[in-house]
Amino acid sequence: MFFIITPALICGAFAERMKFSAMVIYSILWGTFIYCPLCHWVWAEGPLSYFAGDQALFGGMAGALDFAGGTVVHISSGISALVAAILIGPRIGFSNEPMQPHNLTYTALGAAMLWVGWFGFNAGSELAIDGLTSSAFATTHFSAAAGAVAWAMTEWIVLGKPTVLGASSGAVAGLVCITPAAGFVQPMPALFMGALAGIVCYMACSKLKHALKYDDALDAFGVHGVGGTLGAVLTGVFASRVCWNVGEGELLGLMESGSPALVVKQIVAVLVTIIFAAVGSLILLKLIDIVIGLRVPAESEQRGLDVTDHGEEGYMFA
């Protein structure tokens, strides 16, 4: 399931301008050559894994923690989305026309479905029904709620008006941020992480996006890349023995142990993920562009890809 969800996150970055054939090929290749190695490195006994032992990148010490995919899913897809958005270029009229979501009812409904589905994503990653599952379920909910409130409040302060789109985006930002930490942190840190994600991801999707002038249609980088990075690092700060039983002598988060060791490991895992995903995505996209081309013709983009690529329309008014 995660294999197909992760490249789907990337697709939001280049919506309305990539060829369908190129998207299908890219998704398959990306999942095979980027997602699968990262999955092994972090969740099996790979060099970044907490369970790697002598195979760890950290010289026999336990590696990074990632409960449900902060590095494997969100950072990798967010960074790849940024690379794709920059390489393909902006939509026609991006700098001159407002391009807001066309149906906020669907946006709110989709956010609600994500919120509920994320319980399976995070709590389900325990692969059991036990106390840790319940803890991951609760922290997921708290972080999402805090993210929704924080994003909307930040909008209210900056723009003078809170929005449904902002609250929906904030909930997703909170969900992304708690993903690597869901089974490792207590409820209060989860609230803090969600709130901070709402604020930081809002700034990334508004200020950073406009400063760098890239067209990420669904803010995959601003929400998933930035939110996943924030969550992975904060896991090293707030991870607690209360939530996760570790071996004698092993230390967890900075707040509990006073040691920055886990924070350093989390940062290393983040950097490795960013470099691997960015370079790998660039190579794959360049190869696909050479062979079949990435971007649709301008005429197709203006008419809409539903019509030109699939021969159908989402809305029939006549």
Q: What is the pLDDT of residue 200?
A: 99
Q: What is the pLDDT of residue 152?
A: 98
Residue 317 in domain:
no
As a whole number of angstroms, the distance between CA 86 and CA 223 comes to 17
Residue 318 in domain:
no
What pLDDT digit, counting tens, does each position of 268-277 carry?
A: 999 999 999 9
Residue 241 in domain:
yes
Q: What is the pLDDT of residue 49?
A: 85
The overall longest dimension of the chain from CA atoms, in Å, is 70
- The tokens describing 126, both together, are 């325990």
Residue 245 in domain:
yes
Q: What are the backbone dihedrals phi and psi of residue 64, each rounded to the nearest 5 degrees, phi first?
A: -80, 160
Q: What is the pLDDT of residue 96?
A: 80
As a whole number of angstroms, the distance between CA 223 and CA 175 comes to 10
For the chain, list residues with pLDDT below 70.
Answer: 52-62, 245-251, 318
Contact 231, 214 (CB under 8 A): no
3-class SS at 295? strand
The torsion defined by the Cα of 45, 46, 49 and 55, in degrees rounded to 10, comes to 80
Contact 293, 22 (CB under 8 A): yes
> 0.75 cut: is pTM over it?
yes
Q: Give the range of the structural domain holding residue 242, as residue numbers without chain letter.
A: 2-310
CA angle 126, 53, 124 (to 5 degrees): 5
Residue 316 in domain:
no
Contact 185, 193 (CB under 8 A): yes
CATH of the domain at 166: 1.10.3430.10
Residue 197 in domain:
yes
Q: What is the pLDDT of residue 299?
A: 93
Q: What is the pLDDT of residue 135?
A: 94
Residue 315 in domain:
no
What pLDDT digit, counting tens, does each position of 50-83 carry?
A: 876 555 565 555 689 999 999 999 999 999 999 9
Domain tally for the chain? 1
Q: What is the pLDDT of residue 245?
A: 66
Q: What is the pLDDT of residue 266?
A: 95
Q: Rg of the chain's alpha carbons, rounded to an integer?
A: 20
Residue 95 in domain:
yes
User: Interhelix angle for 261-291 vs 76-88, to 10°?
Assistant: 40
